[in-house]
Amino acid sequence: MKNDTVTVIPNSISPYLNEIAERLWSGHAAIMVGAGFSKNASPNGTSTRGFPDWQQLGDLFYEKINGTKPDNKGKYLNVLKLADEVQAAFGRPALDQSLRDVIPDYEYEPSPLHVKLLDLPWTDVFTTNYDTLLERACISVSSQKYDVVINKEDLVYSEKPRIIKLHGSFPSERPFIITEEDYRRYPKDFAPFVNTVQQSLLENTLCLIGFSGDDPNFLQWIGWIRDNLGSENSPKIYLIGVLNLSSAQKKLLEQRNIMLIDMAVCSNIDGSHYKGSKIFLDYLLSRKKEDNRLDWPENSELSQPVPQKEKLIQIEGIVQIWRKQRLTYPGWVSVPEDRRSFLWANTRNWIEFITSEDKLPGCLDLEFVYELNWRLEKCLLPLLSIQQAEFIEIILKKYWTQTQRAYKKNGRKATEKLRIVI
* pLDDT surpassing 50 at residue 4: no
Q: How confident is the model at residue 404 (pLDDT cuts 50, 70, 90)?
A: low
Which pLDDT does position 294 carry in this prediction?
A: 54
pLDDT, tens digit (0-9, with 9 covering 90-100), for 68-85: 888 765 556 789 999 999
Please name the amino acid found at residue 200.
Answer: S
* pLDDT surpassing 80 at residue 402: no
Tell how strand 108-109 and strand 42-43 pair up: antiparallel
* pLDDT surpassing 50 at residue 422: no
Buried/exposed code over 73-100 (b: 16+ C-beta within 10 A; e: otherwise): eeebeebbebbbbbbeeeeeeebbebbe
Which pLDDT does position 369 carry in this prediction?
A: 85
Q: How confident is the model at residue 418 (pLDDT cuts 50, 70, 90)?
A: very low
* pLDDT surpassing 90 at residue 137: yes
Q: How confident is the model at residue 359 (pLDDT cuts 50, 70, 90)?
A: confident
| Separation CA 139–CA 142 (nearest Å) | 8
| Separation CA 288–CA 2 (nearest Å) | 7
Residues 6+ apart with CB under 8 A from 115: 137, 140, 141
Number of H-type helices and E-type strands within the chain: 17, 9
Q: Are 210 and 240 in contact, with CB atoms under 8 Å apart? A: no
Q: Are 34 and 211 in contact, with CB atoms under 8 Å apart? A: yes
pLDDT, tens digit (0-9, with 9 covering 90-100), for 206-239: 999 999 877 888 888 888 887 777 666 667 799 9
Kindly report the average pLDDT of the chain as a whole number.
84
| Separation CA 268–CA 25 (nearest Å) | 27
The string of DSSP codes covering 74-107 is: -S-S-HHHHHHHHHHHH-HHHHHHHHHHHS-GGG
Q: Which of the 8 DSSP states describes residue 8?
A: P
pLDDT, tens digit (0-9, with 9 covering 90-100), for 35-68: 999 999 999 877 778 999 888 999 999 999 988 8
Which pLDDT does position 417 carry in this prediction?
A: 43
Which pLDDT does position 36 carry in this prediction?
A: 93
Which pLDDT does position 356 carry in this prediction?
A: 73
pLDDT, tens digit (0-9, with 9 covering 90-100), for 97-114: 999 999 999 999 999 999
Q: How confident is the model at residue 7 (pLDDT cuts 50, 70, 90)?
A: low
* pLDDT surpassing 80 at residue 8: no
Q: Which domains does the chain have, with CATH numbers?
A: 14-51+103-286 (3.40.50.1220), 293-421 (no CATH)
* pLDDT surpassing 80 at residue 251: yes
Which pLDDT does position 190 carry in this prediction?
A: 93
Helix H, strand E, coil C: the string for 255-268 is HCCEEEEEHHHCCC
Residue 395's nearest CA partner among 364, 419, 416 is: 364
DSSP E strands in 166-224: the ranges are: 205-209
* pLDDT surpassing 50 at residue 5: no
